[in-house]
Amino acid sequence: MAAPVDIFVDGAVAGPGTGTIGDPFKSIEYGIINSALDLTVGTAINVKTGTDQVLAAKLETAFADTSVTAAWVPTDIAQITIEGYESVARDLRGTTKVAAIDGNSIGVLPDGTLDRINLFHMRLHNSGANHLCSIDENCMVLFCEFDNCTGTNRYLLNVDSGLIMGNYFHNFEGYGARMDNGSIVGNHFFDDGATPVLAIQCVPGQMIARNLIRFNEGGVAVGIQTASLDYGTIMNNGIFSNGGTGNGILVTNGGVRDAILNNVIQGFSGSGGVGINMDATNTGVTTFANNSIFDCTTAWIDPDAGPIYETGNEILTESPWVDPLNGDFSPKNVGSMKEGSFPGYFLTR
């Protein structure tokens, strides 16, 4: 596959710039409006590290602007990638570095209307009470950071379908990440948990695997919530709460052929706290196996009708991690757990 056509943005230059690496645009909004989408190999908007892009309006406004160029409408072969860089295009890959867009209490991409938008090595932050980033179908979000959303019913990241992998989510009061169809894999979620936050919400056809979710204060926070998961799998996630009253995994309504496997959950020890709560009519959980629970008021609640296949779940007598409250999730040899039960996350700060 050919590399996309590159345009470059650097908030530290005098601007406005022409979009080349030697003369980058100063503003990502100006760059989008004044660039044409390549219809053969797609376009990469390369945002330089060091100086935040502070938005004047949500980016959907720039993508729809027709005063200079036609509105950007991505296709399967002409996708849009927004990616951080330091010296040359794509040089942050293999690192934990990010370039930043400040949503300025507006949100960066809050509308949920744009398809085939890829985000790599970006930090999106400061959306106020609005969604921070809500994008639509066939999107990839890799090795990014999302934080500072104050809306209790708002998302740091909402993707209709695609892949969310290797990202760091923190400092939110509503939802961390939500997806309808695709995979949420290897991400790190961190919050105090004092407000009723929800780290991951998953709906049909998903793989939710090897995520690490940390709530360092008690509260009603929920690690993973399903809503009509349908042919979904929740496996190998690590979920920690420091005395929370919420749920590690909460199945809220129906689905078919869902599996909950090999998850490790600790610390939902407050009043009403549950490790894995499947107490919903027509829950859809057909396989419930090899999950390990420590220090939860109730380890798990089976669905009304019971899973078709249930085996190997255990209540641990000590923590499976060295020092989870202080961020050390090195595994300990307890119970019958195996290394494969531990999350693998990529980006941590």
* pLDDT one-digit tens code per residue, 305-325: 667 789 999 999 999 998 999
pLDDT of residue 46: 98
Give the lowest-confidence range in 64-73, 158-167, 265-274.
64-73
Taking the model in full, what pTM does it have?
0.94
Please report, as a single letter, which amino acid is at residue 268: F
What b/e readout covers 74-108, taking b as 16+ CB neighbours within 10 angstroms?
beeebbbbbbbbeeebbbbeeeebbbbbbbbebbb
Q: Quick check: 130 pLDDT over 80? A: yes
d(CA 50, CA 100): 8
CA distances from 26 to 7, 187, 257 (A): 11, 31, 50
Q: Give the SS3 label for residue 46.
A: strand
d(CA 325, CA 329): 9
Q: Quick check: 60 pLDDT over 90? A: yes
d(CA 83, CA 261): 34
78 touches 39 (CB < 8 A): yes
Other C-beta atoms closer than 10 Å to the C-beta of 234 total: 28
Residue 144 corresponds to which tokens in the numbers above? Answer: 């990014």
Is residue 77 very low, low, confident or very high in pLDDT (cuts 50, 70, 90)? confident
Residue 349 corresponds to which tokens in the numbers above? Answer: 């700060």
The pLDDT > 70 percentage for the chain reads 93
Please, what is the average pLDDT of the chain?
A: 90
pLDDT of residue 239: 96
